[in-house]
Structure 1
């Protein structure tokens, strides 16, 4: 008996509940000051549309001289509003940002300051937009900065880490590369940075298999040729065979040459601006293999000014390790002073500062 009563109660309650839910979704006629509604009704159903217009001297708070709004769950979207016809809607400026007005529009004569995105600069130094009689006058343009860089170079066997892809990078931006497994950079390790300087990226790394890390004179670089015949420690060497002619072709050392004619060993000498790292003498073992071979480390940096649009072209400049040099910039902002970029060579790596006024050669930008 109680079950039958419960069924009756459910049949009675649900229709009323459905009616209440449907009524809650309806929208009442909107209140619109300074305008008129078409068509005008007492209520509007969910997702119903209607159009409104504004009286003379006013306009809808959206683009165009009329507007359409929609009933969404009992509310109108967007909210209908008539504003002064001399007001302006938000300006559309590429590669820029500015403070948004909470009202969604700007009053006549309102001035808005525009900030260019990183890597862009104001054309003709114009940074403000002015609302004038319903339109924007003197709208700034954000163009690519002469000191910004495009996307970083693609380097074989390496990827850029901790950085999302982007087409433009501001001056002084730094990106980090990491070599894939089994590859290392010239100075050892697997990671290295490059920097955006004066519109160009500094020289990138090279990921190579078996790259030798830099060590001091006579340093052990992991070579243990002396143990291939078995016995002894890594410092043990098989007795020489009696002459360098028993090992065939002499090892080639880039930027280095064999000096002297001693029949028992080879002596290597590095070219100017290079420093030998490793043993001076190389001997031939009885197993037909050469002992550890040195390599020649560069003690300078080179700057090809023809590659840098921001620099005056003077060809390739050589800068010794630990030294700096001023390079004249092509883009001068004031006629009474000269702008320079400071080139620095540190441990074989070159960096360029942004172009700026330099009072003397020690001034840092």
Structure 2
């Protein structure tokens, strides 16, 4: 019985060794490459060996450069050699942005992608789309740091900040929580308090007191004693998180108010300042009304593709037209934004006399 167990153990170890050999350091068969050629050209390639490939006229590798390399790793080529049409585009590198990525790693001629900037970043020039045209992207998209973002939070005595991971800056309206160190408390705040990023600045942080640091007593200055006749000191932190105004930002604040502004192409409707009342409530909040027109040049038959162009109410611009072979000079179209409607007029030369349509 013991001998059978020993024999079974030996067989198990042997099988594990065979499986290990079969699942590691496997050679690769020659990759199937349409419209291209390999160097060196062999039937099989050892594990970790590299090959170079190039493509026929009118085609290009699905990676940067006219010559590309691929490595055999346990029976699989990485990246997979493939030749695509030279009019197709490789995936663009757009830092601090996300977009729908194609599993193949490249995009056909005429494909349009739309980006979404990471938190704390905004699209430069409000450009969020780019189109693959004859092997190149129509525009370079950039996500830049929001001017209303905050740097690292302030150092507050006897407190510990709570957030995940290191950050160079924090997006507007970021909410961070502090906890008091052992032996210190914030009266009436359950030993916790939240601060906010407002217009590039952190609103006043918590004050943790304990032992000899304590001495203010009462309810933290949020209420008065009957007959005292004194006005307590309080600020906007009494009202908690600032009201959210879609397409708007807090651009300034005082001890008892916040001041709002709308993003570009939006108009503020309502009070510019929102007041924090002593009972912990906010006054009426404004809203941001649409104040722009847009024209998608990628989908307009007259205009040269360059993504979506935005204009404020009453604004007019000249946008380049798709060039006609019969033209001896560049043509432009007058585009107007009138009461929320976009008007695109016929193409004119830049030498044409100025009129309602040129």
Corresponding position of 1:144: 145
Q: TM-score, normalised by structure 1?
A: 0.59
Does the CA contact (< 8 Å) of 2:271 and 2:284 recur in 1?
A: no
Q: Secondary structure at the match of 2:125?
A: helix
Change (3 A) 1:212 1:353: farther
Separation in 1, partners of 2:24, 2:121: 53
Unaligned runs of 5+ in 1: 1-5, 222-254, 256-272, 281-295, 304-308, 320-324, 359-365
Structure-to-structure mapping, 1:45-60, within 5 angstroms: 45-60=46-61
Separation in 1, partners of 2:231, 2:50: 76
Shift of 1:114: 0.4
Structure with the higher strand share, 1 or 2: 2
Change (3 A) 1:352 1:202: farther
Shift of 1:57: 0.8
Separation in 2, partners of 1:51, 1:93: 28
Corresponding position of 1:306: none
Given candidates 274, 298, 303, the residue that maps to 2:232 is 298
* Equivalenced residues, count: 262
Corresponding position of 1:155: 156
Q: TM-score, normalised by structure 2?
A: 0.60
Corresponding position of 1:102: 103
Corresponding position of 1:133: 134
Separation in 2, partners of 1:116, 1:83: 29
Shift of 1:104: 0.7
Change (3 A) 1:332 1:101: closer
Change (3 A) 1:276 1:21: closer
Q: Secondary structure at the match of 2:276?
A: strand
Separation in 2, partners of 1:201, 1:353: 23
Greater Cα radius of gyration, structure 1 or 2: 1
Separation in 2, partners of 1:51, 1:318: 66
Does the CA contact (< 8 Å) of 1:127 and 1:140 recur in 2?
A: yes
Structure-to-structure mapping, 1:188-207, within 5 angstroms: 189-207=190-208
Corresponding position of 1:120: 121
Corresponding position of 1:290: none
Shift of 1:152: 1.8
